[in-house]
Amino acid sequence: DVLLEVKDLSAKVAETGEEILRGVTLTIKEGETHAIMGKNGSGKSTFTKVLVGHPSYEVTGGTATFRGQDLFAMEPEERARAGLFLSFQSPIEVPGVSNTDFLRMMCNERRKARGEPELDPLEFYGFLTPKLDQLNMDPSFLARNVNEGFSGGEKKRNEILQLAVMESEMSILDEIDSGLDVDALRDVAAAVNVLKDGDKGLLLITHYQRLLDAIHPDFVHVMQKGKIVQTGDVSIARKLEEGGFEALAA
C-alpha cells in the first residue's frame, strides 16, 4: 500500500513569499526506505516541514496524501496522530521534564488517536524496556531531563527512541547523521535499522553516503532547487560522494 504520495508540490515561505519547493513528486510505499540528498539550501528540510504542516510555509500547488488522506486538510497534530512523524533537526531541551514522562506523553497521544487505552507509568516501562534493548540504549537515559546535557550522539539516539515509541507508520529523519563521529554514526545507523522493520516507511535526509551505506535505502533521490531531479538506487549516493552533484548531470 502507498503511505505517502506527493505530486508536483510547490511551497513558499509564508512571510516573504519566496518560492522554495518547485514541483516535488515522490511516492513512498509501506516497507520502503527512501533517502533525499542534495546541496545545502536545496529545500530538503523545507520539504519535510511542509509535509508535517510547519506554519512558516504555505503550499502553493500540488497535492500530498498520507494513506490516501489529504495531508493538507489535516492539522499538524492530526498528521502526527495519523502516523506521520518528523524528527527534529535541532532537538529541543525540555527543562524539568524527564525523558520517560515526555516519551510516555507522546506515546499516549498516539494511542489515544488509535483508540487504544493509555499506558500508566508501570505499563509504559514494560512497553519501553524491550525498545531500549533493541536500540541498545542505557536505561539511565530515561531519568534524565529531555535532551538536557545530552551529547550530540545521545540526542540523535533519543530522537530514534522517540520514533520507536511513536511506532509511526512513516518516520522522517532530517540529518540524523549530522555532526556525529564514526562510532556515534554506527550506533545511530543500527538504531535506524531497527525502525526499518516491517511495513513502516522511512524517509531520510542526508548529505552523506556513510549513513546510506549502513542503512541501504530502497531509493535515493536528489533534490536541487526545490525539485527532485534524479531518483535511483544507492549508486547515486556513491556517484555523489565521488564527483559531487555535478557528476550526476553527466
List residues near ligand ADP by CB under 6 A.
Answer: 13, 16, 18, 20, 38, 40-46, 56
CB-based closest residue to Mg ion: 45
CB of 48 to ligand ADP, least distance (A): 8
β-pairing verdict for 227-232 and 145-146: unpaired
CB of 219 to ligand ADP, least distance (A): 18
User: From ligand ADP, Mg ion, none, which one binds at residue 13 (CB under 5 to 8 Å depending on kind)?
Assistant: ligand ADP
Among residues 52, 166, 150, 171, the alpha carbon closest in space to that of 105 is found at 166
State which residue, 58 or 148, has the beta carbon closest to ligand ADP: 58
What is the C-alpha R_g of the chain?
18
Residue 171 binding Mg ion, by CB under 5 A: no
State which residue, 159 or 167, has the beta carbon closest to Mg ion: 159
State which residue, 55 or 198, has the beta carbon closest to ligand ADP: 55
Beta-carbon contacts of 186 under 8 Å, excluding residues fewer than 6 positions away, are 214
Give the chain's length. 250
Among residues 52, 56, 53, 59, the alpha carbon closest in space to that of 21 is found at 59
State which residue, 32 or 174, has the beta carbon closest to Mg ion: 174
Span interacting with Mg ion, options 36-44, 129-137, 141-149, 155-163, rule CB under 5 A: 36-44
Among 17, 18, 40, 140, binds Mg ion (CB under 5 A): 40
Span interacting with Mg ion, options 2-10, 27-35, 37-45, 117-125, rule CB under 5 A: 37-45
CB of 89 to ligand ADP, least distance (A): 8
Number of H helices, E strands in the chain: 8, 12
Alpha helices in 75-135 (DSSP H): 76-82, 99-113, 121-134
Cell, residue 121: 507509568
State which residue, 55 or 149, has the beta carbon closest to ligand ADP: 55
Alpha helices in the chain (DSSP H): 44-52, 76-82, 99-113, 121-134, 152-166, 182-195, 209-215, 235-249
CB of 205 to Mg ion, least distance (A): 6
Cell, residue 149: 546535557
The C-alpha atoms of residue 208 and residue 32 are separated, in whole angstroms, by 19
Residue 45 binding Mg ion, by CB under 5 A: yes
CB of 155 to Mg ion, least distance (A): 16
User: From ligand ADP, Mg ion, none, which one binds at residue 43 (CB under 5 to 8 Å depending on kind)?
Assistant: ligand ADP
The C-alpha atoms of residue 240 and residue 43 are separated, in whole angstroms, by 18
Among residues 240, 169, 155, 232, the alpha carbon closest in space to that of 198 is found at 169
User: From Mg ion, ligand ADP, none, which one binds at residue 38 (CB under 5 to 8 Å depending on kind)?
Assistant: ligand ADP
Question: By three-state DSSP, how is residue 94 classified?
Answer: strand
Binding site for Mg ion (CB under 5 A): 40, 44-45
